[in-house]
Structure 1
Amino acid sequence: DLTPLVDGVGSARLLDMVPGRSADAFGDWLDARGGTFRHRIRVVTMDGFTGYAKAATQHLAQARQVMDPFHVVHLAIDKLTACRQRVQNETMGHRGRSGDPLYGIRRILLTRKSLVTPKNAVKLDDVLTNDAHLPVQVTWHFYQEIIAAYQQDRPRDGKLRMFKVIKALHVKIPNDLRELRVLGQTLWRRRADILAYFDTGASNGPVENINGKLEHLRGIALGFRNKANYILRSLIHSGGLRGAINAL
């Protein structure tokens, strides 16, 4: 629940935990909350999992769905990495090894352009300008464009730039750029959710923060064997209930 964060009265909180990661699991939980609860929800932030989007569409028709920037960029990262690995295998005949050109820039490829050092920029340019590496160069370009859209000072400018990227990936990608074609299909299918970020500014970051806290909790406890106990401990830890419980 991001309401306390939006209202400026507290941090995001965990509302509940249920078994399963599916549209049915999320949808059943929403149904159990009742109509009053559902109708008060205005924005739903989520990752790229389509099950959550399906459940939100079915049960929260009035809410604005927002796909988190981190997960949008991560989609591009996955396709860029897959493209590099494919071209690496096609040009060298084996997986990446020390001394291979594409393998040597694997981390530089994922670095935001403005943060690449001059030395690494030369190294990157030398590899990407090789005609055999053209698919990687094109995929890297669109990856950087997605990042640049989120870096715009004005949300309107960022939204316009992102829309241009999504549209270009939807209509102009040849068949041999297979990773970009798949990325373009995904971005086009989720374009409303992706562009909604620039209108709402809503992010899934607080949810990821809670996930990190719960991972830390499991580490401290050396794991939980009792599901009910795990849920209760998680709600106390991240559900804003700690101050309401008197252990004495």
Structure 2
Amino acid sequence: MADATSLLLGLEGLEVRSVTRLGDGSRVVEVVTADPAAARCPDCKITSDSVKGHAVTRPRDIRYGDDPILLRWNKTRYYCQNSGCERRSFTESLQQVPPRRRTTTRLRTQIGRSIGEAARSVIEVAAAAGVSWPTAHAAFVEHAEEVLADVEPVRVLGIDETRRGKPRWLRDKDGARFVRVDPWDTGFVDLSGDQGLLGQVEGRTSATVTDWLTAQTDEFRQQVTHVAIDPSAAYAAAVTAELLPNAQVVVDHFHLIKLANDMVTAVRRRVTFDAYGRRGRKQDPEWANRHRLLTAREKLAPKSFAKMWNSLIDNDPSGQIIIAYIAKEELRQLLSAARDNADDTDIRDRLYRFYAWCADADIPEVTRLATTIETWWPAVLAFLHTGITNARTEGYNRLVKQVKRVACGFRNTENSRRRIRFHCTRTQRANVHFHC
């Protein structure tokens, strides 16, 4: 019975001697050491049989059912019999219950997994395990440092930013005046491999990206062939030939389409204000069709498209909203060349139609969109040739925000980066264990 009970307990090196139930339903499990290696000196590794005394410890373990289980480990203190060893005495210890630990290793591993992989708050996991916040946090840090792998070279690197907290007004260094602090974090993602989120740094400036890239190995910087970003001048300036000599910038098409949608919205609002001297209302055709204007042409039913088109033709004498809508669709046709595997001739034809339409429109918002495409054209062309997007980076941004919400914010940036990277790489670790 004792052997079966010990097997059921599952703590290697400990043998169950008895189990008693208290009045509150708690079960007290009396265990003794069953591993001869526990009598070895931690320093000189020589086994001792000279008993100094006995002690009883109560390490916390994982829960079994609703009623708590209380471990009572009756262990022995030994004298070290090696005269050359500086340690005079020691107490039995096991891998599952290291020296001076009040929690078992498997409990700490369970706490670390619950906090990191499930994105649960530290205080929630600590309360469920019956330990304090510092103990639970230390367990997660220990587990994360054990399983998080170092950054390996990547071929395609994704860079994007996420907000770390609400903007705040703080005094400057001299304390003379208040300045607005808008906290952001920049994340780096492996878009071609399975490493997930490679790291995060505070800020979203060129210096932020440059410092992170400089901290990587020369092999890492040499192997990067493409860097996917949104149309950010700061990020583009950081990805230089000196740091990434073999890399080409690829602009994410999602952000370009968003710029086109923002252009259509700006034109619609301006036309509405010019016509009525106010913002749009429900009875205004422009406002009623605002969602259709932002929907892709192929996703609009023929009846819905005709309703929008006829309504704007009849109620917008200037025709600027329809012109802006067509400019947006021409840009979408240009960007769809990546999906269509179009050759350079087809790309040039689509680009010419877009530029020609924007030039003939002579609308400030449309002209600004065309200027943006012209400025970023090498990066846009790189997207059309490769089809590389920052979609995976945007997906990790969702996980980043989830971790921040659960934690109710972070005061310590190192804790923030560790928690976020652990949660954003859990799928990659699971795949590695599955294949092994």
The normalised TM-score by structure 1 is 0.86
| Structure 1 residues without counterparts, runs of 5 or longer | none
Please list, as runs of the form range in 1=range in 2, the aligned pairs for 1:132-143 lying within 5 A after superposition.
Answer: 132-143=317-328
Number of the residue aligned with 2:366? 180
Partner SS for 2:227:
strand
Q: Give the number of the structure whose residues are more often strand, by fraction.
A: 2
Number of the residue aligned with 2:224? 41
Structure 1, 82-91 or 55-64: larger mean CA deviation: 55-64
Cα distance in 2 for residues equivalent to 1:43 and 1:230: 28
Number of the residue aligned with 2:265? 81
The reply on whether 1:168 has 2:319 as its aligned counterpart is no
Identify the match of residue 250 of structure 2 among 63, 66, 72: 66
CA apart distance, 1:166? 5.1
Partner SS for 1:128:
helix
Q: Could you say what the CA RMSD is over the residues aligned between the two structures, in angstroms?
A: 2.4
Q: Is the 8 A contact 1:16 1:235 kept in 2?
A: yes
Q: Measured at CA, do residues 129 and 57 of structure 1 come closer, stay the same or move farther in structure 2, by a change above 3 Å?
A: farther
Residue identity opposite 1:201 in structure 2: G
Number of the residue aligned with 2:294? 110
CA apart distance, 1:96? 0.6
Residue identity opposite 1:14 in structure 2: L
Q: Measured at CA, do residues 29 and 165 of structure 1 come closer, stay the same or move farther in structure 2, by a change above 3 Å?
A: farther
Cα distance in 2 for residues equivalent to 1:47 and 1:20: 16
Q: Is the 8 A contact 1:166 1:188 kept in 2?
A: no
Please list, as runs of the form range in 1=range in 2, the aligned pairs for 1:157-236 lying within 5 A after superposition.
Answer: 159-160=347-348, 162-165=350-353, 167-168=355-356, 172-173=359-360, 175=362, 177-236=363-422
Q: Is the 8 A contact 1:149 1:159 kept in 2?
A: yes
Cα distance in 2 for residues equivalent to 1:25 and 1:5: 20
Identify the match of residue 309 of structure 2 among 118, 125, 129: 125
Partner SS for 1:16:
strand
Deviations 1:174-218 (Å, cap 9, x if unpaired)? 54x000111111110001111111211211001001111111112
Q: Is the 8 A contact 1:236 1:242 kept in 2?
A: no
Cα distance in 2 for residues equivalent to 1:112 and 1:209: 22
CA apart distance, 1:173? 4.4
Identify the match of residue 280 of structure 2 among 81, 87, 96: 96
Deviations 1:23-46 (Å, cap 9, x if unpaired)? 111112112224332111101001
Deviations 1:10-64 (Å, cap 9, x if unpaired)? 3x51111111101111112112224332111101001111111111135324211
Residue identity opposite 1:163 in structure 2: L
Q: Is the 8 A contact 2:213 2:221 kept in 1?
A: yes
The normalised TM-score by structure 2 is 0.51
Residue identity opposite 2:417 in structure 1: I
Cα distance in 2 for residues equivalent to 1:61 and 1:87: 47
Structure with bigger gyration radius: 2
Deviations 1:95-133 (Å, cap 9, x if unpaired)? 011101111110010111111123322221123324524
Cα distance in 1 for residues equivalent to 2:236 and 2:267: 27
Q: Measured at CA, do residues 23 and 173 of structure 1 come closer, stay the same or move farther in structure 2, by a change above 3 Å?
A: farther
Q: Measured at CA, do residues 151 and 186 of structure 1 come closer, stay the same or move farther in structure 2, by a change above 3 Å?
A: closer
Q: Measured at CA, do residues 174 and 126 of structure 1 come closer, stay the same or move farther in structure 2, by a change above 3 Å?
A: closer
- How many aligned positions are there? 239
Partner SS for 1:156:
coil
CA apart distance, 1:159? 3.3
Q: Measured at CA, do residues 37 and 150 of structure 1 come closer, stay the same or move farther in structure 2, by a change above 3 Å?
A: same
Residue identity opposite 2:325 in structure 1: W
Q: Give the number of the structure whose residues are more often helix, by fraction.
A: 1
Number of the residue aligned with 1:144? 329
Give the fraction of aligned pairs with identical amino acids, expressed as a percent: 29
Q: Is the 8 A contact 1:214 1:234 kept in 2?
A: yes
Deviations 1:39-94 (Å, cap 9, x if unpaired)? 11101001111111111135324211111110110111111110110011011111
